[in-house]
Amino acid sequence: MTTITTPPATDAAYPLHTSQSLRRTVLNRAFALIYASGILALFYRHQFTLRHSTTFISATITTTFLIADLVLAFMWTTTTSFRLYPTTRKVFPENLEKVLEEKGFPALDIFICTADPYKEPPMNVVNTALSLMAYDYPPEKISVYVSDDGGSELTLFAIMEAAKFAKIWLPFCRDNNIVDRCPEALFRSNGITFSDTAKIKAMYENMKLKVENVVERGQISVEYIVNEDERKVLDKWSQGFTCHDHPTVLIESEQENDIKGHPMPNLIYVSREKSKASPHHFKAGALNVLLRVSAVMTNAPIVLTQDCDMYSNDPETPKRMLCFYAHQSTCYDLGYVQFPQRFHGINGVDIYGSEYKRLYVINPEGMDGLRGPCYVGSGCFFVRRVFFGGPLSPELPKARQLRPDHVVEKPIRSPQVLALANEVAGSNYENGSFWGSKMGFRYGSISEDFFTGLHQHCRGWKSLFYHPVRPAFLGDLPISLYDALNQNRRWCIGLLEVVFSKYNPLTFGSHFMGPLMGLAYSHNAFWPIWSIPIIIYSLVPQLALLNRLSVFPPATNIWFLLYVFLFLGANIQDCLDFMLAHGTFPQWWNDQRMWLIRGLSSYFFGFMEFSIKRLRIASKGFLVTSKVVDGEQSKRYDNGVFEFGVPSPMFVPLATVAIVNVVAFAFGIVQILEGGNMDGLLGQMGLACLGVVNSWPIYEAMLWRSDKGKMPRVITVISTFVALFLCTLVLVVPNA
Ligand SMILES: O=c1ccn([C@@H]2O[C@H](COP(=O)(O)OP(=O)(O)O[C@H]3O[C@H](CO)[C@@H](O)[C@H](O)[C@H]3O)[C@@H](O)[C@H]2O)c(=O)[nH]1
Ligand SMILES: [Mn+2]
């Protein structure tokens, strides 16, 4: 094992990294003061109206808006925590050699998680593994561990093929100085003219054909098994082996040389033991097994966690990371360096807001000026020590070989090492231990990333955010609305699990990390409560409009200006933030639409499912997001067409709101044409109009589309009934 050495005293002359606070900081702070005064004024008006309301109806409506506005004000406060100290960083890897010799570079253990060969095609895992093995970093210092929670021989077969292909791929990348080291990405981009490209591409295609063929048939034909070793390995999938119940499978490819005689990284496949009798804790459980197995085999001081669909897009990334860790003496409490999650294949206007620019780029920059960004599950370089207690209060495992400072002396293939590695991957190994509570990745939330990072910050660790111009990693994204919402719903359940645990970011978090960090973490954790104001504002003013009941001040009144200021102020600032982070206006527009859509569906359903889980009625666990691409579907996605297709209950509130808004808007137009006095109803007309514009893809999907992605008839029918019911209901309520 290599430890990080302290640099010589010359480091001031050769900086490795610099940080700078963003110029908008001062403006942000001034605006925050003004906006906060606006919010206070609004609450003054609410209490005034409430005290002077004469009827039950008007008191109820005022209370409803009071609740909605309280939530909005709380969320605004949490967002403000990102705007007070935004920071960016630069690194200078070219100075690295002046500070640290290559043989002093720390070793790197890379963890790749996969969980289902049918939702996460093994060829994607292969591409991710190859791109990471081909890092521009001393290969003998890299070990790639693939955790397969799907317990699938298909994935293992793919990994064995990858190990063979790597012997050709790695020297090819190195000798030609290739930047796209993910084979699929390189061959996708046209016009490559390296020597041997055609030959290597043919070999790659051949491997891909084999792997895809095996996955399609669900078994490995005999002609694909070339030697006795492979036969023996695959024999482990004997009768009774299921993905929920099976012994550990651990296969290591010894550090061999590539075809040019250079050393290669280790590649290790681990499918931990599973048994129905013990909980496996999903991804967090898988990562903890990898932490232990890797400790026994290589115990590198730096650990990179990676989802199987996130390939490396830049071979220089570990050197950039090292720019932060090289000065270990000055950063004893630096726990991790998080790179943003970025994605490939996003359609130009990003209809599903899949980039999550705020979550992955803007907010982490804001937290970087505090104690550092949240951990987002992938693209994160940890120091191994961060998993074992606080920087000054270590919490070490009993077994000496699992401790972060343990030096591995035996080769990874030695029988003792293998025996111990198998033991620590056992399903009972964690019984009665602190794994998942005080050590390793945290259990108790299916958003294990958020929970783990929160816990580490609370224990006194710091983190850093680094956003390189060329994305360090690129991942797959859901290309149907159903998948996008389901992913978000799962996150919400995980976040609520954190909110309702002892580690509530607002109380526990603020106490241990300071109020601003507490608020920043709360912003994510409290995502699901966005649905309260979103549901209220997309239904109540519109229904009131149908009843000619005015809920906002008249347009000629000074208070109306306050509403306009609060609405435009928040949206314009949000849009500016988005565009300063290299977004475009249409992307921002779609992003705000997705925010509303989530508020009406995934946030709300996430909350419901969380409650059901709490009552121990049922739980779906960690539903892995599908990464399989259907041709027709992906064509529609590329053309920016919304994909409904499946009859999901999550679409009912969306369609209902779309219908109510269009009915209210039409009613308003008729009033104007008839010369009615719209002064008091202008605000409501504005909201209904916004609702109609935002709902356009829903009308399309319900009325005139005929492709497979249209809104299922049953959802349209149910939603129409619900909408009509709501509209008639308000007509029978007496006009206040
Ligand atoms: O039992 C499980 C379930 C999932 N995974 C892996 O977890 C990763 C993330 O799963 P995915 O379905 O792709 O979820 P996403 O919502 O796309 O992932 C985001 O959200 C997760 C938390 O909900 C984080 O763990 C991820 O890093 C983050 O990218 C994948 O590599 C899976 O193979 C496992 O290893 N074991
Ligand atoms: Mn994913």
pLDDT tens digits, one per residue of 318-339: 999 999 998 766 688 999 999 9
Distance from the CA of 477 to the center of ligand 2, in angstroms?
7
Counting residues of the chain whose pLDDT is more than 90, the rounded percentage is 80
Atom of ligand 1 nearest to the CA of 450: 22
Label residue 708 by pLDDT band (50, 70, 90).
very high
**Which of 654, 633, 631, 644 lies closest to 705 in space, CA to CA?**
644
736 has pLDDT over 70:
no
Pocket test for ligand 1, best of 307, 374, 446, 609 (most atoms within 8 A of CB): 307
Q: What is the pLDDT of residue 6?
A: 38
Model-level ipTM above the cut of 0.95 = yes
Q: Whose CA is nearest to atom 35 of ligand 1?
A: 283
Q: Count H helices, E strands: the chain?
A: 26, 12
Q: What is the pLDDT of residue 12?
A: 67
Label residue 460 by pLDDT band (50, 70, 90).
very high
235-284: per-residue pLDDT in tens? 888 878 888 888 888 888 765 788 898 999 999 999 999 999 899 999 99
Q: Do residues 322 and 612 touch, judged by C-beta distance below 8 A?
A: no
- Cα(50)–Cα(173) distance, rounded to whole angstroms? 70
Q: What is the pLDDT of residue 70?
A: 98
530-552: per-residue pLDDT in tens? 999 999 999 999 999 999 889 99
Pocket test for ligand 1, best of 283, 441, 476, 487 (most atoms within 8 A of CB): 283
Q: What is the pLDDT of residue 731?
A: 80
Average pLDDT over residues 102-107: 92
Q: Ligand 1 site: residues with CB under 6 angstroms? A: 113-115, 120, 147, 149, 282-283, 286, 307-308, 377-378, 446-449, 487, 490-491, 494, 622, 624-625
Neighbours of 560 (CB within 10 A): 17
Q: Whose CA is nearest to atom 33 of ligand 1?
A: 114
Q: What is the pLDDT of residue 21?
A: 92
Q: Whose CA is nearest to atom 10 of ligand 1?
A: 624
Average pLDDT over residues 501-519: 97
9 has pLDDT over 80:
no
**Which of 390, 413, 495, 486 lies closest to 449 in space, CA to CA?**
495
Q: Which residue has the higher pLDDT, 4 or 644?
A: 644
Work out the angle at residue 93's Cα, subtended by the Cα atoms of residues 89 and 97, and round it to the nearest 5 degrees: 145
223's CB contacts (< 8 A; 6+ apart) are none
Q: What is the pLDDT of residue 701?
A: 96
Is the pTM higher than 0.90?
yes
Neighbours of 53 (CB within 10 A): 16
User: Where is average pLDDT lowest: 18-22, 193-197, 278-282, 654-658?
Assistant: 193-197
Q: What is the pLDDT of residue 255?
A: 59
Q: DSSP readout, 226-243?
A: -SHHHHHHHTTS-TT-BT
> What is the pLDDT of the chain when averaged over all its residues?
93
Q: What is the pLDDT of residue 328?
A: 67
Label residue 454 by pLDDT band (50, 70, 90).
very high
7 has pLDDT over 50:
no
Average pLDDT over residues 155-168: 95
Average pLDDT over residues 698-708: 94
Tokens of 559: 């208070």
Q: Whose CA is nearest to atom 7 of ligand 1?
A: 283
679's CB contacts (< 8 A; 6+ apart) are 554, 555, 556
- Cα(284)–Cα(452) distance, rounded to whole angstroms? 9
Q: What is the pLDDT of residue 27?
A: 95
For residue 115, give the ligand nearest its CA: 1
1 has pLDDT over 60:
no
If you search the block for the tokens 């999650």, which residue do you land on? 341
Q: Do residues 528 and 495 touch, judged by C-beta distance below 8 A?
A: yes
Q: Do residues 348 and 640 touch, judged by C-beta distance below 8 A?
A: yes
628 has pLDDT over 90:
no
User: Where is average pLDDT lowest: 86-95, 242-251, 266-275, 299-308?
Assistant: 242-251
Distance from the CA of 95 to the center of ligand 1, in angstroms?
36
Domains recognised in the chain with CATH numbers = 41-81+526-617+647-732 (no CATH), 93-499 (3.90.550.10)
488 has pLDDT over 50:
yes
- Cα(697)–Cα(701) distance, rounded to whole angstroms? 6
Label residue 614 by pLDDT band (50, 70, 90).
confident
For residue 426, give Cα distances in angstroms to 243, 282, 404: 15, 15, 20
Q: Which residues are catalytic?
A: 149, 449
Average pLDDT over residues 85-110: 93
